[in-house]
Structure formats: structure tokens, C-alpha cells
Structure 1
Amino acid sequence: MQYADLHTHTLASDGTQPPTENVRLALAAGLGAVAITDHDTVAGIEEALKAGETMGITVVPGVEISTVAGGTDIHVLGYFIDYRSTQLLDRLEELRRTRDRRNELILERLNELGLQLTMDDVIASLKVSKKADETIGRPHIADALVRKGYVGSMSEAFDRYLGKDGAAYVNPPRIEPQTAVQWIREAGGVPVLAHPGLYDQDGLIAELAEQGLAGLEVYHSDHTPEQEAHYLAIAERLGLIVTAGSDFHGERNGVVFHAPIGARKVEMKAVEQLIQAKESRP
């Protein structure tokens, strides 16, 4: 029986590996499929699809769209999108501009706290230079904080400064998750709510399901077994596709963030269900 990891990141956003390496790691983990779901960009999909053809593994083209609801970051995954859609590309560019502004605000807050860190420092910590359609995120800032010696690890950077309860956390206005669901559907894709256990907004799931949400990421590296059982019950009650993802971001300073590819996986049936949901659209 083959499995799929439906949530991984590459160098196109805040991962540390090129898309080809994600595909190779998925193959090494014995998976039948892997999704490329970078933050607010589809720049890594073409390379991954070519690698998938070469290695004989299914690559699911995807994206992870950043939204806000109730003051909380909410991420919506989109699968089997038309990643060449000019409308989608324009919308993702708009989201990246908001992301860039958030990064500036975080750095301003860090400087106010006495941590001297600039965007040049963050860029200097990157493995490769960023293209215009790729993103810089909080893990890059966390890595720069580690390199400057302000914190000892990525997790400490998020706990003390960059996470929701961190001293430098900022959350500028963004689109709502309902809008992300609409955008994904308009791009021919299938919208799935990412890691619901991180939000404490269970009421949002049913609301989004009424507006076109098709699936729920029940199994995630940051979910406890109790949360997975809880969200499995919700997905079954609402008739949502059950997905799983490691949320792999690669390795930094010897630590894999969030977890290795394949650490959370779901049967290939979920991929088939996503395809069916796409094809059954009116």
C-alpha cells in the first residue's frame, strides 16, 4: 500500500531543499506521491513535476495560501491548481507583497527589542538567492537570529520572538480564508485547511466547508494524537477529504523543521479523492 505526504516546502519559499530533492526524499521514504505546497508561490512546481516523471513518483502541484481570521494566521492548501493561471499568479504576487511588509515589521520590532537584524542579514543566511516569484518567511528570519547568536535554535526563535506569542510577532491585514478557498477553486484546485490544530478555531471549519472547502489536514507533524482523532471526527462529520502532511521545511542547524518527509502520510486514496473533487466541479 502506497502513501502520500501532501505538505512540503522547498527553496521557493522557506524550505531548504530544491524541489527535486523533496521528490527524491519522498521516493526514499517509500511514498507514492508528494505535494509541493510552498507559501504564496508556485515557483517550485515545474521542477518537481519533471523530477517526479524521472523518478516515477506522483507530484501533486499545490500552494499554501496565507490568510488571517480572528487575528490568527490561517493557512489554506490548494491542490491540483492551474499553477500557470495568470489570475492566480497575480494574486500570489499580491500576497507576497504583504509577506514582505510583514517581514519588515518583524525586523523593526526586533530592532526595538535590541536585536540588530536587517534584511541584508536575513538574505545573507539564505542558501541561494531568491527570485522575484519566491518568498522569504519567518524561518529565514529565525535562521538569521540563530546565526547572529541571539537564540540557540529555530524553536527558541519562534518561542521567544516570531511565534504567535512571541515578542516580535506581527500580523498585518491579509485576505480571509474564505477568499483563499475561492481563489483556489477559481484556479481549478481543491482547497484543504492546513493544520487546524494550530488555530483553536474549530467553528471556522464548518463555515469554510459551506463555502467550498473540500478537505482537512487531519494528520500533521504538530498535531497530537488526541487532536488527530478530534479532527478526523470533524472531517468525517462534514464529509471532508482527510489529508496528511509532514510540513517539511528541510534541515537547519542540524534540526529538521517541522518533520522529515513521510513523517505524516495518508493512503494514496486521498490523492484520488482530491482528483475526483477537482473533476466533479460543476
Structure 2
Amino acid sequence: MHPPGCTAQARASDAMNDRKGDVSMPFVDLHSHTTASDGTQPPADNVKLAAAAGLAAVAITDHDTVAGLAEAIEAGKEYGIEVVPGVEISTVHAGQDIHVLGYFIDWKDETFLSRLAELRRVRDRRNDMIIERLQALGLEVTMDDVMASLMASKKAEETVGRPHIADALVRKGYVANMAEAFERYLAKGAAAYINPPRIEPITAIQWILEAGGAPVLAHPGLYDQDDIIPQLKEAGLVGLEAYHSDHTPEQETHYTALAESLGLTITAGSDFHGERGGVVFHAPLGARRIDASVCKRLYEQRGGRP
């Protein structure tokens, strides 16, 4: 019997065996966001897009929340797409935002849910601090403006992030588009950037392992902190997102080699966030993909299994 959560890989293996390699291994996109965090598409739409892109599986990895998983998993049954239950946890190390992906987590575990709720409270405080700094800069923007820019009302277990603030700045005419909002105000080093104290990536790895998941470092090329990756592996990190929409080809080659040297699973993700102002944020779903055997390997590594 094939393990739960890896039927996409199992079907791929069966097809390859039955047809002696005449069909290509199906692919998976292991990084996507929905309206449960800062994406613009409902979870079911991500699954539908995954089917349209010819994927065997898609991971839903919203920021500090698992609120979109139930809808996505139901949609997966409708579209015949495997949904990998995931999350992207926000952490900070040496003043740098570091994101840790967790796959095949027990997304109903009460301890894990409580920990995510605390992370969302930190995020809410960060958002308030950003608004205060924007107002100090003379921009008349409030959290009410931010919430008005959302496609739908947010539930308590969903998150509000910088892209939502950027949307409000565009709507009020302070910037022309999201890229300008981040460049002038919201990106690291910009005028209204705030980075409050958060948990360390090692803590996020521990939380994911304790929730029965497989921790993977998201888009390492954005951090310039390769020196911490061996330390994270010692803490239980099992994978590295070598293929990401914001990585250069050189970075993808570098992180593939680094993952191989450390014995880490190589993953890939588009980091799809939907479309804003006619522009797809990061990349279309499926733009970064990897063969479905990675799904099985992550499943086998969940909870710190060797």
C-alpha cells in the first residue's frame, strides 16, 4: 500500500513501471500561497491551476497559517490533484527574515495551531508598526485601508502581510504598483520596513518536526546566509528549495550542489501568490517544479525520520 499523501508519486512510479519508462514522471510544485495568507486566489483555485498546469501535486504553504488546507484538500479530490499539507513559517536570524517550509504536517495538531496563532499575533504587531511608520512619513494610510484592499474579509486564523499593505498604497495613489511599494517602503532597508523579534529558524524546524512534518529551507538565495544551513541540518532540516522563481540559474546550480553535499532533499516551488495589477506575483503556479518522487521522500522524512 502506498503511504498517504504520496499517491501522486506512487501513480507515477506505477506508470513508469507499467510502460517501461514511456511516460514522463509527473511533477509537483511545492510552494504556493492562497487568500488564507497573502495570495489572491482561493485555495481551490490553486488546485485547479495545478491541474491545468499538468501537475500531479501542489503544496499549499501559506504564511503562518493552515487555514486554506481544508478547502484545498477537498478541491484536490475534485480535480484529481494531490494536495501536500504545508505551511511557511516566518523566522528571523541575525536580522534577516528566514522562511521555513513544513510539509506533511499534522495540520490539526492543537499545539502546532497555538504556535502558529502566536506567530500571527507577531505579524499583526509588525503590520501596525509599519502603518505607524508610513503615517510618520506623511502617508495617510490605516489598517482599515489595508483591510478594504483585500478581496474578502479575513478570518481570524488567516494572515495579513506586506503585500496587503502594498495594495492599499497602490489604491490610495502613493505608488504606481506593488513593486514600487516594496522598493520605496516595505522591502528590507526601505523607509517603512520593520522587522520585530521573531522565533529563530531552528525553533521553526523543531515545531514542524513535532507536528510530524518535514522542514525545508525556503528560497535560500534570498538570504545570503549559507553558513547557517549546516546548523539547520543538524537541527533537523531535511530539504533545500534550490529551485525557486526568484533564484538565478547560478543560484539554482549552487543550491542544488549544496543540498547534495549536505544530504538534503532538493525541492522546487513557484511561490505563486496570484495576480495583482495584472502581474503574477513571483511566478505562475507550476513555473518551478520537480519530479513527484520528491513528494515521497519528504513524506518519509517527516517527523525527523531518517
- TM-score under structure 1 length normalisation: 0.99
**Counterpart of 1:137 in structure 2: which amino acid?**
G
Structure 2 SS opposite 1:52: helix
Residue 151 of structure 2 corresponds to residue 153 of structure 1: no
> Where does 1:171-210 land on structure 2 (aligned, <5 Å)?
171-210=195-234
> Where does 1:1-282 land on structure 2 (aligned, <5 Å)?
1-278=25-302, 281=305
Cα distance between partner residues in 2 of 1:129 and 1:163: 25
Identity among equivalent pairs (%): 70
Cα distance change, pair 279–70 in 1 and its aligned pair in 2 (3 A): closer
CA-to-aligned-CA distance 1:51-106 (integer Å, 9 cap, x gap): 11111111000000000001010000000000000000000000000000000000
Q: CA deviation at 1:280?
A: 7.0
CA-to-aligned-CA distance 1:1-31 (integer Å, 9 cap, x gap): 2111100000000001110000000000011
Q: CA deviation at 1:115?
A: 1.1
Q: CA deviation at 1:121?
A: 0.2
Cα distance between partner residues in 1 of 2:283 and 2:197: 29
Gapped runs of 5+ residues in structure 2? 1-24
**Counterpart of 1:22 in structure 2: which amino acid?**
N
Structure 2 SS opposite 1:210: helix
Cα distance between partner residues in 2 of 1:45 and 1:84: 10
Cα distance between partner residues in 2 of 1:279 and 1:176: 19
Cα distance between partner residues in 1 of 2:39 and 2:129: 22
Q: CA deviation at 1:178?
A: 0.2
Cα RMSD between the aligned structures? 0.9
Runs of 4+, deviation exceeding 3 Å: none
Structure 2 SS opposite 1:61: strand
Q: How many residues align?
A: 282
Structure 1 SS opposite 2:235: coil
Q: CA deviation at 1:279?
A: 7.3
Cα distance between partner residues in 2 of 1:167 and 1:150: 13
